[in-house]
């Protein structure tokens, strides 16, 4: 039986697309190319995924799982001889339980669909990131997605209670735990979360929901020095108790970029400070929380941690402040951006950034450099913009300059986007031979034939 025929017998006539039918499908977010694969199968449930995987396994075919294709590290790239398992028809929200505060979903449900579905229950699913409309919850788990509110709620790993996974030979592993605490043997889901589809295919998830916050306070503040920035983070965390939900730092050049034409954003505070922070608090009592928020900022001004501050006075202002931080698209104006997602210890950050500017000037000549990030988590997004005609030549040089010092500093080449194919050559910058050997041992134990997302990570 040929591949298409076999997969159609499993997933139905409309459940399989041929190589020819794929030729009109984009390969992913912001990508000019289309999907090139032997076939794409769209199972409707775990049982169909299992059957499709078993058939591929028994017939020596390799598999790439695809969700919303919003990843940024070529983690779901496919080769022409491989089969794509897409979760696009697995979009059922099976359960929302407001007492246990969990949701049970199929892997293809988008992040935004779940966020909107829990809202009427006065609950929230607190993972949040720009790609929410397309990114799937299965993909969020496979890549351990981060986003804007890690400081308060953690990463995707912290929101997954249970998983159903199809293993490399088609075996269904159902570990759909609904409990916050369960120490009955190894916590198997941890093996699959963040493994980028290389150890199993996540088909269903049990997710932890939270009570919907009742208050929201947002400010943009100017900070006079990096040392003040690290002290402000501690102060905000301490003075806002458990309600600090974002601490998003913008270096001056990024702040200017997103508050000057052609960007449409207006600067809430002046342009001449070295650092700016968007501080957000999600709380429980609008009046008392706002009072506490303002008191915390006042203390920071008195102790010179903040040189200027603007507190959002309306929902429109809150949105406008976040829109500045999120207006990353400005980095494509006038050149081609090379985008990084690194993390490093706070104590090393100021010197790292200073050296980065110098090393880029020496190594690649003229460029633009913007930095912003989730400082509360040590996560910086570094963007280097070059002229389009120089991009291909300069990109490896820029990568070497950005990644080079991270090993020595105890940093990471990927805070949240993952490794995929893009960062595979740099994994050894921040992982030892021993660590990579153990990753290979896990891969060999779970996928001895190497058929799941081949060639990714290591």
Choices 29-37, 246-254, 284-292, 317-325 (CB under 8 A): range interacting with its own copies: 284-292
Task: Please tell me whether residue 180 binds its own copies under the rule CB under 8 A.
Answer: yes
Whether the Cβ atoms of residue 229 and residue 132 lie closer than 8 Å to each other: no
Cα separations in angstroms, 422 against 28, 96, 254, 368 = 14, 37, 25, 22
Over 126-156, what HEC string results?
CCECCCCCCCEHHHHHHCCCCECCHHHHCCH
Looking at residues 55 to 94 of the shown chain, list those that interact with its own copies (rule: CB under 8 A).
none
Task: Please tell me whether residue 215 binds its own copies under the rule CB under 8 A.
Answer: yes
Task: Between 203 and 385, name the residue whose CB sits nearer to its own copies.
Answer: 203
Distance of CA 72 to the CA centre of its chain: 9
Which residue from 31, 214, 271, 304 is in contact with its own copies, where contact means CB under 8 A?
A: 214
Which residue from 174, 260, 351, 387 is in contact with its own copies, where contact means CB under 8 A?
A: 174
| Rounded distance between C-alpha atoms, residue 249 and residue 148, angstroms | 12
Which residue from 5, 20, 60, 183 is in contact with its own copies, where contact means CB under 8 A?
A: 183
Task: Please tell me whether residue 146 binds its own copies under the rule CB under 8 A.
Answer: yes
Choices 27-35, 88-96, 292-300, 322-330 (CB under 8 A): range interacting with its own copies: 292-300
Distance of CA 285 to the CA centre of its chain: 30
Task: Between 3 and 140, name the residue whose CB sits nearer to its own copies.
Answer: 140
Give phi and psi for 445, each to the nearest 5.
Answer: -70, -40
Facing residues of 281 across strands? 217, 244
Task: Please tell me whether residue 339 binds its own copies under the rule CB under 8 A.
Answer: no
Looking at residues 149 to 168 of the shown chain, list those that interact with its own copies (rule: CB under 8 A).
150, 152, 154-155, 157-158, 167
| Rounded distance between C-alpha atoms, residue 274 and residue 222, angstroms | 8
Q: How many CB atoms within 10 Å of residue 194?
A: 19
Choices 29-37, 264-272, 376-384, 388-396 (CB under 8 A): range interacting with its own copies: 376-384
DSSP letters for 242-272? GGEEEEEEEEHHHHHHHTSTTS----SS-S-
The nearest distance, CB 4 to its own copies, in angstroms, is: 30
Which residue from 117, 173, 369, 421 is in contact with its own copies, where contact means CB under 8 A?
A: 173
DSSP label of 13: G
Looking at residues 382 to 411 of the shown chain, list those that interact with its own copies (rule: CB under 8 A).
410-411
Task: Between 89 and 431, name the residue whose CB sits nearer to its own copies.
Answer: 431
Cα separations in angstroms, 46 against 43, 69, 160, 250 = 8, 20, 18, 43
Task: Between 24 and 183, name the residue whose CB sits nearer to its own copies.
Answer: 183
Choices 23-31, 40-48, 176-184, 246-254 (CB under 8 A): range interacting with its own copies: 176-184
Tokens representing residue 81 in the block: 């001889």
Task: Please tell me whether residue 458 binds its own copies under the rule CB under 8 A.
Answer: yes
Strands 83-86 and 39-41: parallel
Looking at residues 1 to 40 of the shown chain, list those that interact with its own copies (rule: CB under 8 A).
none
Residue 9 burial (C-beta neighbours within 10 Å; 0-12, 13-18, 19+): middle
| Rounded distance between C-alpha atoms, residue 113 and residue 221, angstroms | 33
Task: Please tell me whether residue 449 binds its own copies under the rule CB under 8 A.
Answer: no
The nearest distance, CB 259 to its own copies, in angstroms, is: 27
Looking at residues 240 to 259 of the shown chain, list those that interact with its own copies (rule: CB under 8 A).
240-243
Task: Please tell me whether residue 225 binds its own copies under the rule CB under 8 A.
Answer: no
The nearest distance, CB 148 to its own copies, in angstroms, is: 12
The nearest distance, CB 322 to its own copies, in angstroms, is: 20
| Rounded distance between C-alpha atoms, residue 406 and residue 10, angstroms | 47
The nearest distance, CB 26 to its own copies, in angstroms, is: 24
Which residue from 194, 265, 337, 405 is in contact with its own copies, where contact means CB under 8 A?
A: 194
Long-range CB contacts (within 8 A, 24+) of 256-259: 257/330, 257/331, 257/370, 258/324, 258/325, 258/327, 258/330, 259/324
The nearest distance, CB 318 to its own copies, in angstroms, is: 17
Which residue from 184, 302, 362, 408 is in contact with its own copies, where contact means CB under 8 A?
A: 184
The nearest distance, CB 8 to its own copies, in angstroms, is: 28
């Amino acid at each position: 039986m040929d591949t298409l025929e076999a997969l159609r017998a499993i997933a139905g006539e409309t459940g399989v697309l041929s190589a020819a039918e794929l030729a009109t499908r984009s390969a992913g977010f912001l990508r000019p190319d289309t999907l090139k694969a032997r076939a794409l199968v769209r199972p409707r449930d775990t049982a169909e995924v299992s059957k499709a995987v078993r058939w591929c396994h028994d017939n020596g075919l390799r598999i790439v799982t695809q969700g919303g294709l919003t990843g940024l590290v070529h983690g779901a790239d496919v080769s022409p001889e491989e089969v794509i398992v897409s979760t696009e028809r697995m979009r059922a929200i099976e359960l929302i339980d407001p007492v246990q505060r969990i949701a049970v979903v199929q892997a293809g449900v988008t992040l935004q669909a779940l966020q909107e579905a829990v809202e009427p229950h006065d609950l929230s699913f607190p993972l949040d990131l720009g790609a929410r409309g397309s990114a799937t919850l299965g993909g969020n788990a496979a890549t351990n997605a981060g986003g804007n509110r890690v400081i308060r709620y953690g990463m995707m790993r912290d929101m997954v209670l249970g998983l159903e996974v199809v293993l490399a030979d088609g075996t269904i592993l159902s570990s759909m735990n609904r409990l916050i605490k369960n120490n009955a043997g190894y916590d198997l889901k941890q093996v699959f979360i963040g493994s980028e589809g290389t150890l199993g295919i996540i088909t269903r998830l049990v997710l932890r929901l939270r009570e919907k916050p009742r208050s929201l306070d947002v400010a943009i503040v100017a900070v006079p020095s990096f040392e003040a920035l690290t002290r402000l983070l501690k102060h905000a965390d301490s003075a806002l108790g458990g309600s600090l939900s974002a601490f998003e730092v913008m270096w001056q050049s990024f702040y200017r970029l997103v508050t000057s034409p052609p960007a449409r954003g207006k600067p809430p505070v002046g342009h001449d400070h070295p650092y700016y922070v968007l501080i957000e608090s999600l709380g429980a009592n609008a009046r008392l929380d706002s009072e506490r928020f303002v008191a915390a900022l006042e203390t920071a001004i008195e102790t010179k941690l903040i040189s200027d501050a603007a507190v959002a006075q309306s929902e429109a202002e809150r949105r406008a402040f976040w829109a500045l931080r999120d207006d990353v698209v400005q980095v494509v104006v006038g050149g081609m951006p090379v985008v990084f997602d690194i993390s490093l210890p706070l104590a090393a950050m100021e010197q790292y950034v200073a050296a980065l500017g110098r090393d880029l000037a020496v190594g690649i000549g003229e460029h633009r450099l913007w930095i912003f990030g989730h400082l509360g988590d040590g996560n910086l997004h570094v963007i280097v913009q070059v002229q389009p005609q120089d991009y291909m030549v300069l990109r490896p040089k820029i990568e070497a300059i950005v990644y080079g010092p991270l090993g020595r500093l105890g940093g990471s080449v990927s805070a949240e986007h993952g490794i995929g194919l893009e960062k595979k050559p740099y994994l050894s910058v921040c992982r030892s031979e021993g660590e990579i050997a153990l990753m290979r041992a896990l891969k060999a134990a779970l996928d001895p034939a190497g058929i799941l997302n081949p060639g990714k990570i290591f």
